[in-house]
């Protein structure tokens, strides 16, 4: 068990404001892999050889100063090389990783993983140049033209050789045609930049834009710009597809789920009867859709609910609907009899609810048959008037 797979907003422990997200995810807020990703690959992957190293190898001004390099692997031994020269070799520690202290020199730092004396995997970092351009990389090159399909696009800064520049933390701007930008990010747990909009700074040379395709066949054209860098342009095909099957939305209204049910009475009770304060026993707490079996004595019961209607229903009035009541029934609201149901067989009941603000007292008087269940055996709702 590892907490967590992804970074997330809040809980920046052990850090404090202005940090606004966790630090300990395997992936950052955008899903970009962190060092923890490679650490756990070395821990958990057994079927293929893996090796990686951190940090990057672009440290201008630190020539000759020691840099601690962490190597992560599931092999038996690892050898570290700088510009083709062997720096050191160690037996692999899959749990803690292997550390090497290396005097920084520009060039290529490479790790070779070995098993049984044979090279099984390699990884390397190179010293990169200054950023000269932006690059846009989509997760997919085709999107569905259904006004719903969504995907991330990665923005990064590259040098003249097309290599990622991890030190480029520049402000970037985005625009898109044929799609909508629905989110932006960069994985920085200390960033307070908006996650909606058309701009985001690079963090470790990376940022992300979430795009949602428009409708129909066509093209999505996205551009990214940053001060002093060559802009990037990306074209994604938007394919025409048949609309996915849908059902019309149904409006359920304001549900009335919680009721108090009286004990059984041998004669019709007064609808004004209510449990006394603190009575949590003689009147049961029940939910709509809960039938009750016949009592040993008495066929009459009261059901009470206190409801504050939605603002529109309170102002204009509405309809109160019982999907199914078993038994004969009378409906009372705020001391007024609104409707009744004849016959003990299960059936619906509805009535016009007069306008009125505040808490409304709904009472159902039910007379059960001599056999079979009774009560509020289906959903109950308040519906606004149609417009």
Q: 36-72, pLDDT tens digit by residue? A: 999 999 999 999 999 999 999 999 999 999 999 999 9
Rounded to the nearest integer, the mean pLDDT of the chain is: 95
Residue 247 is predicted with a pLDDT of 76
CATH superfamily entry for domain 35-126: Immunoglobulins (2.60.40.10)
The model scores a pTM over 0.75:
no
Residue 386 is predicted with a pLDDT of 84
Residues with Cβ within 8 Å of residue 37, at least 6 apart in sequence: 26, 27
pLDDT band at 245 (very low <50, low <70, confident <90, very high): confident
pLDDT at 275 over 80: yes
pLDDT at 356 over 80: yes
Q: Is the pLDDT higher at 198 or at 14?
A: 198
Average pLDDT over residues 204-221: 97
Q: Tell me how crowded residue 62 is: count the other CB atoms within 10 A of its CB.
A: 13
Instruction: Name the fold adopted by 254-384.
Output: Jelly Rolls (2.60.120)
pLDDT band at 218 (very low <50, low <70, confident <90, very high): very high
To the nearest 10°, the Cα dihedral for 124, 125, 126, 131?
140
Residue 252 is predicted with a pLDDT of 67
Query: Within 13 Å of residue 55, how many CA atoms lie on the same side as its CB?
Result: 13
Give which of 255, 319, 263 is closest to 288, Cα–Cα.
255
Instruction: Name the fold adopted by 133-239.
Output: Immunoglobulin-like (2.60.40)
Which residue's entry shows tokens 């509805």?
A: 350
Which residue's entry shows tokens 């092999």?
A: 75
Q: Any idea where the domains of the chain sit in the sequence? A: 35-126, 133-239, 254-384
The percentage of residues in the chain with a pLDDT greater than 90, rounded to a whole number, is 90
pLDDT band at 251 (very low <50, low <70, confident <90, very high): low
Average pLDDT over residues 214-232: 97
Residue 249 is predicted with a pLDDT of 65
Average pLDDT over residues 98-109: 98
Asked if domains 35-126 and 133-239 share a fold, the reply is yes
Report angle CA 115, 116, 122 to the nearest 5 degrees: 30
End-to-end Cα, the chain, rounded Å: 54
pLDDT at 183 over 70: yes
């Amino acid at each position: 068990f590892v907490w967590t797979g992804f970074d997330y907003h809040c809980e920046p422990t052990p850090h404090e404001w202005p940090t606004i997200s966790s630090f300990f995810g395997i992936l950052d807020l955008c899903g970009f892999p962190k060092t923890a990703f490679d650490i756990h690959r070395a821990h958990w992957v057994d079927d293929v050889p893996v090796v990686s190293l951190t940090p990057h190898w672009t440290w201008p001004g630190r020539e000759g100063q020691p840099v601690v390099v962490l190597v992560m692997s599931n092999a038996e031994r690892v050898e570290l090389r700088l510009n083709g020269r062997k720096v050191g070799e160690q037996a692999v520690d899959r749990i803690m990783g292997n550390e090497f202290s290396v005097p920084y020199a520009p060039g290529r730092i490479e790790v070779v993983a070995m098993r049984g004396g044979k090279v099984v995997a390699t990884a390397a970092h190179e010293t990169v140049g200054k950023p000269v351009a932006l690059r846009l990389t989509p997760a997919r090159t085709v999107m569905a033209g259904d006004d719903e399909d969504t995907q991330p696009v990665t923005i990064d800064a590259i040098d003249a050789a097309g290599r990622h520049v991890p030190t480029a933390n520049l402000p970037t701007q985005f625009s898109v045609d044929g799609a909508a930008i629905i989110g932006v990010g960069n994985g920085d747990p200390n960033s307070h930049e908006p996650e909606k909009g058309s701009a985001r700074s690079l963090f470790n040379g990376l940022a992300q834009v979430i795009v949602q395709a428009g409708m129909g066949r066509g093209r999505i054209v996205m551009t990214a710009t940053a001060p002093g860098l060559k802009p990037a342009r990306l074209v994604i095909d938007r394919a025409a597809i048949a609309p996915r099957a849908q059902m019309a939305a149904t409006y359920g209204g304001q549900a009335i789920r919680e009721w108090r049910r009286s004990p059984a009475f041998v004669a019709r009770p007064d609808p004004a009867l209510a449990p006394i304060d603190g009575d949590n026993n003689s009147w049961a707490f029940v939910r709509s859709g809960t039938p009750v079996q016949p009592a040993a004595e008495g066929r009459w019961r009261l059901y009470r609910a206190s409801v504050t209607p939605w603002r529109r229903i309170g102002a204009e009035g509405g309809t109160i609907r019982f999907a199914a009541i078993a038994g004969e029934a009378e409906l009372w609201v705020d001391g007024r009899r609104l409707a009744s149901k004849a016959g003990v067989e299960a059936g619906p009941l509805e009535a016009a609810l007069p306008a009125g603000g505040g808490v409304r007292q709904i009472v159902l008087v039910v007379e059960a048959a001599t056999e079979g269940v009774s009560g509020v055996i289906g959903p109950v709702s308040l519906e606004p008037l149609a417009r």
